[in-house]
Amino acid sequence: MSTLIKNGRIITAEQDYTGDLYIEGDTITTIGSSLSMQVNTLIDARGKYVIPGGIDVHTHLDMPFGGTVSSDDFETGTRAAAFGGTTTLIDFAIQSKGTRMRNALDLWWKKAEGKACTDYGLHMIITDLPDAQIGDMSDMVREGVSSFKLFMAYPGVLMVDDATIFKAMRKTAENGGLICMHAENGSAIDVIVKKAIADGKKAPIYHGLTRPTTAEAEAVNRAIALAEIAGVPVYIVHLSSFDALQRVSEARDKELLAYAETCPQYLFLSIEDLDRPNFEGAKFVFTPPLREKWHQDKLWEGLKTNNLQVVSTDHCPFCFKEQKEMGKDDFTKIPNGGPGVENRLQLLFEGGVNKKRISLNRWVEITSTTPAKMFGMYPRKGTIAIGSDADIVIWDPNAEYVISAKTHHMRVDYSMFEGFKVKGNAEIVLSRGEVIVEKGKWLGKAGRGQFIKREAFAGAWR
C-alpha cells in the first residue's frame, strides 16, 4: 500500500514548510516537493496543515473505578480519539492490590485485543509494592511499559504511602522507568471531605471545595523532593492549579528533572461548572477538581514557558445517566472522571493557536512530539520524518465545528465542552499509512491498533 500526500503545509515541533510525503506501507519513506510516484492513494493537502498524529498519554478506557466502569472501551475510545486527530493513546493498566503487575498487563492487553483502532501503549498503576516484587517494575520496562503511575490521593483505593513511592522511584533509577504522579494530599483531603459530608454538604460543588490547591501543591512538592533524593525524573499528571505549577517551575529553575502535563478541562473550565444546577455539576467531577477561573491564564503561561510540557486529556468518561447519578445524594459517590479524548487538538488549536497564546509548532510539540519523547516513542511517533510511522493528520485550519454530545464519537451522553465553537479540525487521519478517518467518515477497523513497546525514559532533555 502506498500513499502520496501533496502540497500540504507540513508542521512539526521544529519545522513549517510546504512539501509532499510519500508513504510505503506503515512508514514515511520520502519527503520532498513535486513528488510524482504511482500510488494507491493520493491526497491533495493544499491549504491544509499536515501534522504528526496526536498522542494522548493519559486515558482510562474500560477502567473499573468508583463502583462502575468508564464508558469508553478500547474500540470506542481509540476511534473517538482518531476522529479528533489523536492516533496514539497511552492508557493505564491497574495492578490490583495483592496481585502482580504482570496480571494487570495481561488483562489490559485483553481489553485492547480485537478492539484498539489506533496504536496504544500502557502505563502501569502500582497499588502495592512488596519488596519481593519490586523487580516486577523492571519486567514491565522490558515489556515496553516504561512508565508507572502512583497515587498520593484516593486513600484506601489507589493511594500508596511515601515509602512505596520512594522505593518505586529508586527502582526507576536502575531501570529507566518514569514515575507519573497523581499529586494531591489524599489524607488531608479525606479529613476535609468527611467533615463536609457530616455537615450535609453533599452537592457536586463540594468536590471542588474540599480539594484545595494547596493540597495539590504540597503533594507536587513532596513528589519532586522524593524524586530529587532518589535521583530520578518525575512527571506530574493532570496538573490543575497555579500553586502546583509554581512548585514545578521552582524545581525546573533548580535544574531538577520535574515535568508536568495539564489537560483541556483545566484550561477551559472552572469551579463554577461544578455548581451548575440540576446536578449537572456532576459532569465536571474529576480529580484534581476544577479551579477558579484565574488559574487558566497561569496554565496557558506555563505551556508557553515550557514549565508545562504536555497536554493530555485524562479521558475517563462516565455517563451522566446512571453513572454520574450514582452520586445524586452524595458527591463522594460520583465516579471521578470526564470525557475529552476527541477534543484535545481542536481545543488547543482554538484556545492556543487561534487565540495566539502558542505557535503552531508549539501546538504540535505539546500534543504529539513531547509526549512521544517523554514516553519512549520518538522518533517512531511524534514527528514527520523519514522512517517515522505514517501517523498523520490533514488538519483543516478553517473548518468550523461546534463540540456537542450529539455529534461526538465518545460513548458518553454529555460533553464537557458542549456548544464550544472551534475553528480547525482533523479532515483526514492516517494511522500507520492507513486512512482511518476521512471527512467525518470512519474507515478504520477495530483491532488494527498495535501495542507500542516503549523505550525507557531518555532523560537527557528538558
Other Cβ atoms less than 10 A from the Cβ of 347: the count is 24
- Least Cα distance to 88 among 122, 39, 48, 113 occurs for 122
**Cis amide prior to 212 (ω within 30 degrees):** no
Vertex 128 angle, CA 127 and 129, to 5°: 130
Tell me the three cell numbers of residue 204: 457536586
What residues numbered 281-300 form the site for ligand URP, per CB under 6 A? 286-287
The residue type found at 329 is D
Q: Which is nearer to ligand URP, 94 or 364 (CB)?
A: 94
Among 9, 60, 123, 324, binds ligand URP (CB under 6 A): 60
* Least gap, CB of 127 to Zn ion (angstroms): 13
Task: Decide: is 182 part of the binding site for Zn ion (CB under 5 A).
Answer: yes
Contact 138, 129 (CB under 8 A): no
Q: Which is nearer to Zn ion, 153 or 226 (CB)?
A: 153
* Least gap, CB of 417 to ligand URP (angstroms): 17
Helix (H) or strand (E) holding 14: none
Contact 199, 223 (CB under 8 A): no
- Quick one: what does residue 336 bind among Zn ion, ligand URP, none, with the CB cut-off 5 to 8 Å set by partner type? ligand URP
Residue 89 Cα distances to 121, 193, 419, angstroms: 6, 33, 26
- Quick one: what does residue 6 bind among ligand URP, Zn ion, none, with the CB cut-off 5 to 8 Å set by partner type? none
User: Which residue number places its CB atom closest to Zn ion?
Assistant: 182
Task: Decide: is 57 part of the binding site for ligand URP (CB under 6 A).
Answer: no
Task: Decide: is 315 part of the binding site for Zn ion (CB under 5 A).
Answer: no
- Quick one: what does residue 337 bind among ligand URP, Zn ion, none, with the CB cut-off 5 to 8 Å set by partner type? ligand URP
Q: Which is nearer to ligand URP, 213 or 287 (CB)?
A: 287
Q: Which is nearer to ligand URP, 223 or 394 (CB)?
A: 223
Task: Decide: is 119 part of the binding site for Zn ion (CB under 5 A).
Answer: no
Tell me the three cell numbers of residue 158: 489507589
The residue type found at 427 is E
Q: Which is nearer to Zn ion, 137 or 341 (CB)?
A: 341
The residue type found at 332 is T
Q: Which is nearer to ligand URP, 413 or 438 (CB)?
A: 413
Residue 36 Cα distances to 21, 30, 101, 365, 428, angstroms: 10, 11, 50, 30, 21
Contact 283, 214 (CB under 8 A): no
How many whole angstroms separate alpha carbon 328 and alpha carbon 325?
5
Helix (H) or strand (E) holding 370: helix 370-374
Task: Decide: is 76 part of the binding site for ligand URP (CB under 6 A).
Answer: no
Q: Which is nearer to Zn ion, 50 or 150 (CB)?
A: 150
Q: Which is nearer to ligand URP, 97 or 441 (CB)?
A: 97
Task: Decide: is 403 part of the binding site for ligand URP (CB under 6 A).
Answer: no
Task: Decide: is 383 part of the binding site for ligand URP (CB under 6 A).
Answer: no
Task: Decide: is 334 part of the binding site for ligand URP (CB under 6 A).
Answer: no
Task: Decide: is 314 part of the binding site for Zn ion (CB under 5 A).
Answer: yes
Residue 396 Cα distances to 6, 137, 155, 345, 441, angstroms: 14, 42, 45, 12, 15
All residues at 6 or more sequence positions from 6 whose CB lies less than 8 Å from its CB, including other chains = 20, 35, 42, 43, 44, 45, 46
- Number of chain residues interacting with ligand URP (CB under 6 A): 9
**Region near Zn ion per CB under 5 A, out of 119-127, 175-183, 389-397, 398-406:** 175-183
Q: Which is nearer to ligand URP, 313 or 369 (CB)?
A: 313
Task: Decide: is 336 part of the binding site for ligand URP (CB under 6 A).
Answer: yes
Q: Which residues bind ligand URP (CB under 6 A)?
A: 60, 182, 238, 286-287, 314, 316, 336-337
Q: Which residues bind Zn ion (CB under 5 A)?
A: 182, 314
